[in-house]
Amino acid sequence: MKGFRDFLLRGNLIELAVAFIMGTAFASVVTTFTKVLLDAIGKVVGGQPNFDQVAIAGVAVGPFITALVNFVIIAAVVYFAIVVPYNRIRDRFVKEEEDTPATTEDLLGEIRDILKQK
């Protein structure tokens, strides 16, 4: 029972659950934005962009092309709406720690501390 309790209380599990819930919620936002963007493109080109009827040598590749276009739009939204602002904020507010290689004494001290805990 102790192992199960430790598993449940591990920080990574909670962070993963929160990330999954937030990701699911954000997915609907991005999907809706993609539909809005495709509707806007449809207004410009005179029709809803839909490749479902495209076939090459009798093989229906249209649904794949439609899914690929949707994927590219979703990837662009995620990149420009999340990744780029996150990187800017991180670079602005989080000071990078200097990556100094650990000395042999530091490593031996860490090993000693771990062995003491056990």
- What is the pLDDT, as a whole number, of residue 52? 77
0.75 cut: is pTM over it? no
d(CA 109, CA 118): 15
Q: What is the pLDDT of residues 39-63, one digit of tens each?
A: 888 888 777 777 777 888 888 888 8
Assess whether pLDDT exceeds 70 at residue 99: no
Place of tokens 């207004």: 43
Assess whether pLDDT exceeds 60 at residue 98: no
Q: What is the mean pLDDT of residues 75-101?
A: 80
Domains of the chain, CATH where assigned:
2-117 (1.10.1200)
